[in-house]
Structure 1
Amino acid sequence: MDLIIKNGTVITAKDTFKADIGVRDGKIEVITRSLDQMEAKQIIDATGNYVLPGALDAHTHLEMPFGGTVSSDSYEAGTRAAACGGTTTVFDFVIQGKGQGLVEAVEGRRALCEPQACVDYSFHTAITDLTPAVLKEFKQAVDYGINSFKVFMVYKKEGLMVDDGVMVRAMIRAKEVGARVSVHAENPDVIDMNIENFLKEGKTHAWYHYLSRPEYAEAEADKRAIHWAKSFNVPLYIVHLACKEGMDEVTRARQEGYDVIAETCPQYLYFTNEVYKREDGRNFVCSPPIKGPESQNALWDGIKRGDISIVATDHCPFQSYEKDWGKDDFTKIPNGCMGVENMYPYMLSEANRGRISFNKAVEVCSTNVAQLFGCAPQKGTIAPGSDADLVIYDPEKTYVISKDNMHSDVDYTIWEGVELKGYPVMTFSRGKLVYDNGNFVGEKGWGEFVKRTPLT
């Protein structure tokens, strides 16, 4: 064996049991009660610790041009941070340029990512120019290994938004070829009206970012996207769901038997809109913004019911000096927060405190992502034949998050001072140790492209 992890408590989305795990050539070869008689190049004693599948972050924006700058984490920095938080696969968004093919767009970002990635990776493609040729190319993209496309119902001025007709055509075609469309759901016209009014009144603090995009601005778009998905009986994935009305609509659609999947983010589960009143409120500016306590509680209830299928980060950080561009005008604040290193530790901490089970944390951060996006059982579980993407977690460790113990290139963290109960102490990517007790020990270029299979 190349690696044996002994005496740990293995936790998957379905099961919890004591076992030893044997790894060879980057794959899990055996899971059994005892491997005491087996030799290995590396033997880890996980007594008292939990052994979990690595998380898959289904939503990141690394090196993304936006708001007059580029998100702060390169592919190296973002995947390094991911590894140090127990995330062993990241899905990044590729924004299609005007006149650009889907595979062409992906290959451009893949060439940028490949020499840098510290863990495995895949992509979603955001559609901005849905020509007949691009619709036809959906099948080629799925054959290439990309089975998910995104449309923006917002960012009209930035040239990213599509209309409802484009969204529906994309959803219909995606279903035909074994793919799924995700949507960023907010109402741009209402948001623009609110912004115009606030600026006229001299209301420019970060608090007005939230007030310009309140619950109803997101809820209407959630309902509209779900309405079209139901009307045409096509799959739908709502990214970064943040509001109670939207959560209620997702639950209703799922109870009616429709294939509607929702994702939420750690920042919506821990913080409330009160952060925008803080002196550093601009650091929390993201879209959709963090909402009120009623919405937060609804999201947690959705996780417990299974109507939130995935927790992902929308990791898109900007340096503090860039956030300061909007110190006196919230419309100039680059949109995005960090989270790729915080997602799994935070959700596992909440499990450790009894809010959800550890199995549920694994389900929403790992297993569901792999299953819903076509890379299971290679990813997202602990089973013979699966990739040895493994996290050793110490449930007794107390960890206080600080910019000084994070591993990205961002010069602050919105999670500063948050205390977690339990923390990952080791991360393995395909059997290779990449994080060890606070230190990144992996290497850039180690990560591999994950080719995903068509969805059924």
Structure 2
Amino acid sequence: MDMIIKNGSVVTASETVKADVMISDGKIIAIGSNLPTAGITVVDAKGKLVLPGAIDVHTHLAMPFGGTTSADSYLAGTRAAACGGVTTVFDYPMQRKGMTIKEVIDSKKAICAKEACVDYAYHCIITDLNDGAILEEMASAVESGITSFKCFFVYKKEGMMVDDGTFARLLLKAKEVGAMINLHAENPDLIDYNIETFLAEGKTSAWYHYLSRPEYVEAEADKRAVHWAKHLQAPLYLVHMADKEGLEAAIEARKEHSDIYIETCPQYLEFTCDVYKREDGRNFVCSPPMKGQESQDALWKAIKNGEIDVVATDHCPFQSYEKDWGIDDFTKIPNGCAGVENLYPYMLSAANQGKISFNRAIELCSTNPAKIFGCANKGSIAVGKDADIVIYDPDIDFTITVDKMHSDYDHTIWEGIQLKGYPIQTYSRGRLVYDHGDFIGEPGWGQFVKREKR
């Protein structure tokens, strides 16, 4: 369907201009003033901001973990994404011993082809090299559009952790084939030691989840990963950065021209470790946990200074009764929180309140993710790009409540958070999929995004 969005302020990472946007066959074909409207649908965006759709490059949909599966299916998670202005979702399917990358990705593609409401891509989690077969397969995976792979420095007991040697081999192979390694950095041995000590002392509340994984436990792993990436001269993407010391190490390495990218998440920008002292503290349990005020201040400073590249969510919600498994033992709480529907509204609200510019919010949530992960047709409002567009009303006052969300979970850590401004429409490749509070898209609309190699 041909369409024109008129009278709005078009915002990109670099500029804000009054302009009309013309769309045809899912693509942006013209941007300018007084564009012809005869015979096509006109959307009046007067008084509104016209933004590129966000790209959430960190979600865990339908993910088995902690004795259950994350609450949002690919349908529910991508539906929620659309309603929060996220038009592309990256998921983290997990490879296990004996599985090929292709087997892992193809199994998820088959589900997303039926369920995904917005476009989607994958980072494949590598847990075992399968006697080197995975390293050999990485080149063909990159050619198929899978250009990033994730490792864990934690979850040793769950069989998900890679050691330093495996990590180094993956870094080098990724550099060779034009891919990038993403890393969850925490020190598993210190975590296990702390957990054993706290349980022996009868310290079992959610507060001890944080104390078992405090700042220095994440910082050590951040600095170790940065060390290897720097000396191996390989690209590295640090996911969900939450601590000041590790953040500073990554920033310093970049000043020395290391190819390192830093992601943080909205929960680390909004909440501190004090949430774990609350009666409902178990609902906030995620890994890494929220940290102290000093770390939060450092994250905001880095965002304002352009030293953090991406804000994504680590969306991995669980039901409240599953969180309740850990009422008397924090180790039994499934790790993860909701966020995919809150990402863009939260960062845009920060811009609307003057903490950052709207251009910076778009850079963090759309343009940088597209550039870093090779999404050539995404990330900006520009001629030739996909018409992934969000119309944003800066004058709406919006309070987040679970009943206004579009996921399948029964609670949210964002309950009661007040936002200034909110998306009122989301277009995915020119199709309206969210309209003034209602999801109006359809499962199966989303398409696989084949990404360019580095």
- Report the TM-score range of the alignment, normalised by the length of the smaller protein: over 0.9
Cα distance in structure 1, aligned partners of 2:307 and 2:220: 19
Query: What is the Cα deviation at residue 38 of structure 1?
Result: 2.1
Partner AA of 1:244 in structure 2 = K
Partner AA of 1:270 in structure 2 = E
Residues 1:374 and 2:408 are matched in the alignment: no
1:310 paired residue number: 310
TM-score (norm 1): 0.99
2:169 paired residue number: 169
Cα distance in structure 1, aligned partners of 2:393 and 2:235: 38
Partner AA of 1:439 in structure 2 = D
Partner AA of 2:224 in structure 1 = R
Cα distance in structure 1, aligned partners of 2:12 and 2:353: 18
Cα distance in structure 2, aligned partners of 1:104 and 1:379: 27
1:250 and 1:307 in contact (8 A); partners too: no
Give the secondary structure class of the aligned counterpart of 1:114. helix
Query: What is the Cα deviation at residue 301 of structure 1?
Result: 1.1
Give the secondary structure class of the aligned counterpart of 1:290. coil
Query: What is the Cα deviation at residue 39 of structure 1?
Result: 2.3
1:50 paired residue number: 49
Cα distance in structure 2, aligned partners of 1:2 and 1:297: 46
Cα distance in structure 1, aligned partners of 2:383 and 2:315: 31
TM-score (norm 2): 0.99
1:436 paired residue number: 435
Residues 1:423 and 2:422 are matched in the alignment: yes
Query: What is the Cα deviation at residue 42 of structure 1?
Result: 2.2
Cα distance in structure 2, aligned partners of 1:211 and 1:395: 39
1:154 and 1:186 in contact (8 A); partners too: yes
2:413 paired residue number: 414
1:103 and 1:144 in contact (8 A); partners too: no
RMSD: 0.7
Cα distance in structure 2, aligned partners of 1:114 and 1:450: 12
2:385 paired residue number: 386
What do residues 337-357 of structure 1 show as CA deviations (whole Å, max 9, x unaligned)? 000000000000000000000
2:3 paired residue number: 3
Query: What is the Cα deviation at residue 208 of structure 1?
Result: 0.3
Give the secondary structure class of the aligned counterpart of 2:114. coil
Partner AA of 1:139 in structure 2 = A
What do residues 13-42 of structure 1 show as CA deviations (whole Å, max 9, x unaligned)? 01100000010000001101122x322442
Matches within 5 A, 1:172-187: 172-187=172-187
Partner AA of 1:452 in structure 2 = R
1:225 paired residue number: 225
2:132 paired residue number: 132
Matches within 5 A, 1:346-365: 346-365=346-365
Partner AA of 2:81 in structure 1 = A
What do residues 383-404 of structure 1 show as CA deviations (whole Å, max 9, x unaligned)? 1110000000000000000001
Cα distance in structure 2, aligned partners of 1:250 and 1:270: 22
Matches within 5 A, 1:91-170: 91-130=90-129, 131-170=131-170
Task: Evaluate the alpha carbon distance shift between residue 118 and residue 98 of structure 1 in structure 2; reply closer, same or farther with a 3 A threshold.
Answer: same
Cα distance in structure 2, aligned partners of 1:229 and 1:26: 39
1:103 and 1:141 in contact (8 A); partners too: yes
Cα distance in structure 2, aligned partners of 1:184 and 1:137: 22
Matches within 5 A, 1:221-300: 221-300=221-300
Partner AA of 1:221 in structure 2 = A
Partner AA of 2:353 in structure 1 = R
Cα distance in structure 1, aligned partners of 2:96 and 2:248: 35
Give the secondary structure class of the aligned counterpart of 2:379. coil
Task: Evaluate the alpha carbon distance shift between residue 40 and residue 345 of structure 1 in structure 2; reply closer, same or farther with a 3 A threshold.
Answer: farther
Q: Which runs of 4+ in 1 moved over 6 A?
A: none
Give the stretch that moved more between structures: 125-134 or 135-144.
Answer: 125-134
Unaligned runs of 5+ in 1: none
Partner AA of 2:97 in structure 1 = K
Give the secondary structure class of the aligned counterpart of 2:93. strand
Give the secondary structure class of the aligned counterpart of 1:94. coil
Task: Evaluate the alpha carbon distance shift between residue 40 and residue 124 of structure 1 in structure 2; reply closer, same or farther with a 3 A threshold.
Answer: farther
Cα distance in structure 1, aligned partners of 2:76 and 2:3: 27
Give the secondary structure class of the aligned counterpart of 1:247. helix
What do residues 30-77 of structure 1 show as CA deviations (whole Å, max 9, x unaligned)? 101122x32244211000000000000000000000011000000000
Give the secondary structure class of the aligned counterpart of 2:139. helix
Cα distance in structure 1, aligned partners of 2:338 and 2:302: 23
Unaligned runs of 5+ in 2: none
Give the secondary structure class of the aligned counterpart of 1:341. coil
Task: Evaluate the alpha carbon distance shift between residue 40 and residue 29 of structure 1 in structure 2; reply closer, same or farther with a 3 A threshold.
Answer: farther
Cα distance in structure 2, aligned partners of 1:229 and 1:40: 55
1:326 paired residue number: 326
Partner AA of 1:399 in structure 2 = F
Give the secondary structure class of the aligned counterpart of 1:385. coil
Q: How many residues align?
A: 453
Cα distance in structure 2, aligned partners of 1:42 and 1:438: 21
1:254 and 1:307 in contact (8 A); partners too: no
Cα distance in structure 1, aligned partners of 2:125 and 2:257: 27
